[in-house]
Structure 1
Amino acid sequence: MKIMNEYTYNHMKKNKRHTISILVAITIASALLCSLCIFIHSIWETKVSTTIENTGYWQGELFDSISGDKLKYVTENPKVKTTMIKGQWVTAKLSNTKLPYLSMRDANTNFWLDMGLKNNLTKGRLPKKSGEIVVSKLFFADNPSYNIGDKLTLPIGNRMLGSELINHQSTKQSGEKFLATETKIYTIVGELDISDSSAYPGYIAMGYLDPLQIKPKDELTVYMRFVKPRTIYETLPQIAKATGLTKNEYGEYAVKYNTPLLTLYGMSDKSVANTQIITMIAMAITIILLVMGSFILIIYNAFSLSANSRIKELSILKSLGATPRQIKFSVLYEGLLLWIIQLPIGIMVGYLFSNIVFSKVNKILSVTEDYRNAYVSFSWVVVGFSIIISLITILVSAYIPARKIMKVSAIAGIRQNNTRIKFKKQKSHLIINKIFGIEGELAISQFSANKKALRTAVLSLSMCFILIAGYMSIIAIYNLAKSKNVEIPNHDMNISLKTVDKPSDKMINEVISLPEVRDSVIKRKVRTSTYVTSKQESDVFAKYGGFAKVPSKHNVLSENGKYRIIVTLVGLSDKSFKKYCEKIGADDESYYKNGVTKGVLLDSTNYVSENSKVVQKIPLLNIKQGDKLVINEKIENDMNTNYKFNAEVGHVTEILPSELGMGGYSLAYIVPMKSYQQLVSNFMPERMLESSSMSIDLLVGDKASQRVKKELIRICSSYLGSEDVTIWSLLVEKNNDKLVQKAVSIGVFAVALMFGLIGIINAFSTISNNLRLRKREFAMLRAVGLTPKGLNKMLMIEGLFFALTPIIVSIPIVLFICWFMLRIALITWFEFISIFPAVPILVYAILIIASIFLAYGISSTGVKKSNVIESIKDEIV
Structure 2
Amino acid sequence: MNIVNKLTLRHLKENKRRTLVTIIGTIISVAMITAVSTLVVSFFDLMQRHEIAQSGEWHVQYHGVDQEQVETIQNDKNTKDVILSNDRGYAYLEGSENQYKPYLFIRQYDENGFEHFPITLSEGRFPEKENEIVISEEIANNANIHYEIGEELTLDVGDRYGTGEYTQQLNQTYSLMHTDGEIAETLENVTTETYTIVGTVERPTWEPSWAPGYTIVGYLDKDRLVEGDTVRVSVVLNSIHRNLFTDAEALAQAMGLTDESVQYNTSLLRYYGVTNDDRLRATLYSLSTIIISIIIVGSVALIYNAFAISVSERSRHLGMLSSVGATKRQKRNSVFFEGTVIGAISIPIGILAGIGGIGITFYFINRFIEDALGISERFMLTVTSGSIIVACFVSILTIFISTYIPAKRASKISAIDAIRQTADIKLTRKGVKTTKLVRKVFGIEGELGLKNLKRNKRKYKVTVFSLVVSIVLFLTVSFFTYSLEKSVELSSQGVNYDIQVYAGGKLTSKDEGIVNSITQLQDVTDFSRVKETQLNSWIEEQQINKILKENLQYNPEILKDDKYPYYISIHGLDEDSLREYASEVGVDPEAYFHTEEKMAIIVDTIQYHDWESGRYIETKAIHANVGETLELFYENWETNESVFVNEVEIGLLTDVVPMGIFTANLGGLNVIVSDNVFVELVRTEERIHYNNYIYLNSSKPLDTQYQIEELKTNQMTVYNHHRARQQDRQMMMLMSVFIYGFIVLITAISIANIFNTISTSISLRKREFAMLKSVGMTPKSFMKMINYESIFYGVKSLLYGLPISIGIMYLFYRSMMHTFSYQFEIPWISIIYVIVAVFIIVAAAMLYSTSKVRKENIIETLKQENI
Normalising by the smaller structure, the TM-score range is: 0.7 to 0.9
Shift of residue 237 of structure 1?
2.1
Aligned-residue offset at 1:696: 0.5
CA deviation string 1:412-436 (max 9, x = no partner): 2345423456442263665555667
Say whether the 8 Å CA contact 2:621–2:669 is kept in structure 1. no
> Would you say the 8 A contact 2:501–2:695 is kept in 1?
no
1:863 CA drift (Å): 2.8
Q: What TM-score does the superposition give when structure 1 sets the normalisation length?
A: 0.72
The change in CA–CA distance for 1:339 and 1:794 in structure 2 (over 3 A counts) is farther
Distance 2:497 2:277 in 1: 43
**What is the aligned counterpart of 1:376 among 381, 391, 404?**
381
- State whether residues 162 and 186 of structure 2, in contact with CA within 8 Å, keep that contact through their aligned partners in structure 1: yes
| 1:22, distance to aligned residue in structure 2 (A) | 1.3
Tell me how far 1:625 sits from its aligned partner: 3.5
Q: Distance in 2 between matches of 1:454 and 1:574?
A: 63
The structure-2 alpha-carbon separation of the partners of 1:583 and 1:736, relative to structure 1 and needing over 3 Å to count, comes to: farther
Partner SS state of residue 149, structure 1: coil
**Where does structure 1 lack aligned partners over 5 or more consecutive residues?**
247-251, 552-556, 589-600, 632-644, 681-690, 699-704
Q: By how many angstroms is 1:858 displaced?
A: 1.4
Counterpart position of 1:339 = 343
Q: In structure 2, what is the equivalent of residue 183 of structure 1?
A: 193
**Aligned residues of 2:605 and 2:620 also touching (Cα < 8 A):** no
Q: Compared with structure 1, are the counterparts of its residues 141 and 722 closer, same or farther at alpha carbon in structure 2 (3 Å cutoff)? A: farther
Question: What is the correspondence of 1:72-87 to structure 2 with a 5 Å cutoff?
Answer: 72-87=71-86
Shift, 1:315, TM fit: 1.8
Deviations 1:209-253 (A, max 9, x none): 22112232223112223446543222222332344334xxxxx54
Report the residue type matching 1:389 in the other structure: V
CA distance in 1, matches of 2:385, 2:596: 70
**1:395 — aligned with what?**
400
How far, CA to CA, are the matches of 2:701 and 2:132 in structure 1?
Answer: 40
| Preserved contact between residue 633 and residue 644 of structure 2 (Cα < 8 Å) | yes
State the SS of the aligned residue for 1:207.
Answer: strand
Q: Letter of the 1:400 partner, please give it.
A: I
> Does 2:225 correspond to 1:214?
yes
Aligned-partner residue type, residue 334 of structure 2 = S
Work out whether residues 365 and 743 of structure 1, in 8 Å CA contact, stay in contact via their aligned partners in 2.
no
Which residue does 1:628 correspond to in 2?
636
- 1:307 & 1:39 partners in 2: Cα distance? 37
C-alpha distance in 1 between matches for 2:189 and 2:277: 49
Matched, 1:453 2:459: yes
Deviation at 1:338, TM superposition (A): 0.8
Within-5 A mapping of 1:811-850: 811-816=798-803, 838=832, 842=836, 845-850=839-844
SS in 2 for 1:262: helix
Tell me how far apart the structure 2 counterparts of residues 8 and 441 of structure 1 sit (CA, whole Å): 39
Matched residue of 1:61: which SS? Answer: strand
Q: Contact 1:605–1:666 (CA<8 Å) still a contact in 2?
A: no
- Name structure 2 gaps, 5 residues minimum: 178-182, 580-591, 608-617, 651-656, 672-677, 814-821
Mapped contact 1:495–1:695 kept (Cα < 8 A): no
What's the TM-score once normalised by structure 2's chain length?
0.73
**1:182 alignment partner, SS class:** strand
CA distance in 1 between partners of 2:733 and 2:197 (Å): 48
Please tell me the residue identity of whatever aligns with 2:529: V
Correspondences of 1:462-501 after superposition (within 5 Å):
462-464=468-470, 467=473, 495-497=499-501
Residue aligning to 2:319:
312
The separation in 2 between residues aligned to 1:558 and 1:85, in whole angstroms, is: 51
8 Å Cα contact 1:94/1:100 also seen in 2: yes
* Amino acid in structure 1 at the alignment position of 2:747: A
CA contact (8 A) 2:78 2:238 kept: yes
Matched, 1:863 2:861: no
**Cα distance between partner residues in 1 of 2:649 and 2:619:** 21
Distance 1:342 1:203, change over 3 A: same
Identity of aligned residues (%): 17
Contact 1:132–1:186 (CA<8 Å) still a contact in 2?
A: yes
The SS at the match of 1:862 is coil
Matched to 2:753, the amino acid is: I
- CA gap of 1:561–1:462, structure 2 versus 1, over 3 A, is closer
Deviation of 1:86 (Å): 0.7
CA displacement, residues 620-660 of structure 1 (integer Å, 9 cap, x when unaligned): xx9964643599xxxxxxxxxxxxx9997745769899853
- Superposition RMSD on alpha carbons, in Å? 5.9
Is 1:754 aligned to residue 753 of structure 2? no
Tell me if the contact between 1:85 and 1:111 (Cα under 8 Å) persists in the aligned partners: yes
1:257 to 242, 261, 264: 264
Deviation string, structure 1 residues 477-526 (Cα, Å, up to 9, x no partner): 999x99x999xx9x99774138999997653121357999999535589x
| 1:661 equivalenced with 2:662 (yes/no) | yes
Superposed displacement of residue 85, structure 1: 1.5
Distance 1:542 1:385 in 2: 51
* SS of aligned partner of 2:856: helix
**In structure 2, what residue type is equivalent to 1:237?**
E
Match of 1:546 in 2: 548
Partners of 1:469 and 1:841 within 8 A in 2: no
Is 2:257 aligned against 1:239? no
Bigger radius of gyration: 1
**Map of 1:695 onto structure 2:** 693
Opposite residue 133 of structure 1, the aligned amino acid is: I
User: What secondary structure, in the 3-state scheme, does the structure 1 residue paired with 2:694 have?
Assistant: strand
Change (3 A) 1:256 1:653: farther
CA shift digits 1:695-714 (9 cap, x unpaired): 3047xxxxxx9999999789
Q: How far did residue 805 of structure 1 move?
A: 3.6
Counterpart Cα distance in 2 of 1:280 and 1:875: 50
1:12 Cα deviation from its structure 2 partner: 0.9
Aligned to 1:135: 135
Question: Contact 1:447 / 1:798 at 8 angstroms: preserved in 2?
Answer: no
Q: Secondary structure at the match of 1:244?
A: coil
Q: Which of 231, 234, 257 in structure 2 is aligned with 1:223?
A: 234
